[in-house]
Amino acid sequence: MDLVTPQLGLLVWPALSFLLLLVVLRKFAWKPILESVNERDQQIRQALDTAKEAKEAMVRLQADNDKLMAEARAERDLMLAEAKKTRNLIVAEAKSKAEEEGKRLLDLARQDIANDRKAAMTEVRNLVANLSVDVAEKLLRKELEKSDSQQAYLRQQLDELHIPSN
């Protein structure tokens, strides 16, 4: 029966000790430990939140960068295309201008040549005419040395004139 009969001393001392333990540990152990744990939990939660925000910001920045890059690339492509177009335009223009100029120069040359030929022909014609006149003069002079021939010639000339005989 000794086993299940509580003794007075073992009721009083444990009760007092436990109460003391409860009061002291609550103030000097449980409170600081639990507060520290809570504080740390909060710090960890904050750190995690911050990290998450930073990650989101990074993603946002990355997206912005990508967008900017894409925009820049598009702009570059556009500029290149425009430059190419402009170049083609300039080349084409220059080509047509050159062609035109060439044609004009050709025309001018052709005209010059034509003019020169005309002048040359005229000169030749004049020369031939003068020569012919000279030859004819010489022939005529030789022909008309005789009087009858002069006469005949006059007559012929007169005949040719068809002067009415009135």
What is the C-alpha radius of gyration for the chain, rounded to an integer number of angstroms?
Answer: 66
Under rule CB under 8 A, residue 64 binds other proteins? no
Q: Which of residues 6-25 bind other proteins (CB under 8 A)?
A: 6-15, 17-18, 20-22, 24-25
* Residue of 75, 55, 56, 78 whose CA lies nearest to 67: 75
Shortest gap between Cβ of 58 and other proteins (angstroms)? 25
- Inter-residue contact 153 to 143 (CB < 8 Å): yes
Please identify, using beta-carbon distances, which residue of 19 and 119 lies nearer to other proteins. Answer: 19
CA distances from 40 to 31, 46, 47, 99, 156 (A): 14, 10, 10, 86, 149
Shortest gap between Cβ of 76 and other proteins (angstroms)? 50
Q: What is the DSSP letter of 166?
A: -
Under rule CB under 8 A, residue 153 binds other proteins? no
Angle at 41 between CA 35 and CA 45, to 5 degrees: 145
Question: Interface with other proteins by CB under 8 A: which range of 28-36, 86-94, 109-117, 144-152?
Answer: 28-36
Please identify, using beta-carbon distances, which residue of 4 and 163 lies nearer to other proteins. Answer: 4
Please identify, using beta-carbon distances, which residue of 19 and 120 lies nearer to other proteins. Answer: 19
Under rule CB under 8 A, residue 166 binds other proteins? no
Contacts of 153 (CB under 8 A, 6+ apart): 143, 144
Binding site for other proteins (CB under 8 A): 2-15, 17-18, 20-22, 24-26, 28-34, 36-37, 39-40, 43
